[in-house]
Amino acid sequence: MKLAGHTAIVTGGGRDIGLAAALKLASEGARVAINYYSSSAGADAAVEQIMGQGGQAFAMQGDLTRQADVDALVSKTVDAFGGINILVNNAGGLIARKTIAEMPLDHWNAVMDLNVTSVFMITKACLAHMTSGAIVNLASQAARDGGGAGAVAYATSKGAITTMTRGLAKELGPDIRVNALCPGMIDTDFHNIHTADAARRGYEAAVPVKRQGSVQDTANLILFLACDDSAFITGANIDINGGMLFS
């Protein structure tokens, strides 16, 4: 039980990468607070599964671009579990594919708020209660290569997360380590919504491992970065893309 006695907050934990991460951390003994925005069914099912296996968890709806929702999540976590050791900053999204030429300022600001400002807000709130532990951010392969068509805003926001990861690692060490994942094509609703099936088949044909990634692949890496197995790693943005991009 690599995380026995530890408390983790997982944002965007109601589906896909966040849901798999919450279950993985709980399986290693962590008490888990699951934030979700709209995926209540997945979050509630995860809590039921964790508690059914003898663990501790709760799910809480919240918009992490709102200070009141951020503060409520952190307060409930501390009240329920006594502190915070691990923060997984997974909440985020593309929203829609738009070129710069067609992009209204409101869309740009919405993407930045969702993917960058929310990470700043929840991280700052958690740090008031973290004396040691790990922060794991979700960046993207788009931060490396600029993303696909119509993803400039998203790629820019995820590039900011890679830089924030490095800066926080310097600022918070040695007691708190900060690392990030840069996922490529992971089989999630993100790509079900925003990526054409032909592009996904092309990815599978081109990538050395000849498949898309699974949420279990990302959950395994999140666990590694959250526990002491990675005790000498901080400020790293780790590619997890099956070999599609080497950095």
Query: Which residues are CB-contacts of 192 (< 8 A; sequence separation ≥ 6)?
Result: none
Which sequence positions are flagged as catalytic? 154
Where residue 29 falls (left for φ over 0; alpha for ψ -120 to 50; beta otherwise) is left
pLDDT above 90 covers what percent of the chain? 92
133 burial type by CB count under 10 A (0-12 exposed, 13-18 middle, 19+ buried): buried
Query: Which residues are CB-contacts of 167 (< 8 A; sequence separation ≥ 6)?
Result: none
Where residue 150 falls (left for φ over 0; alpha for ψ -120 to 50; beta otherwise) is left
Residues 65-78 have a mean pLDDT of 98
Structural domains in the chain, CATH included, are 7-240 (3.40.50.720)
pLDDT of residue 45: 98
pLDDT in tens, 171-219: 999 999 999 999 999 998 766 776 788 888 888 899 999 999 999 999 9
User: Is the model's pTM score more than 0.85?
Assistant: yes
SS3 sequence of the chain: CCCCCCEEEECCCCCHHHHHHHHHHHHCCCEEEEEECCCHHHHHHHHHHHHHCCCCEEEEECCCCCHHHHHHHHHHHHHHHCCCCEEEECCCCCCCCCCCCCCCHHHHHHHHHHHHHHHHHHHHHHHCCCCCEEEEEECCCHHHHCCCCCCHHHHHHHHHHHHHHHHHHHHHCCCEEEEEEEECCECCHHHHHHCCHHHHHHHHHHCCCCCCECHHHHHHHHHHHHCHHHCCCCCCEEEECCCCCCC
Q: How far is CA 55 from the centre of its chain?
A: 21
pLDDT range class, residue 70, cuts 50, 70, 90? very high
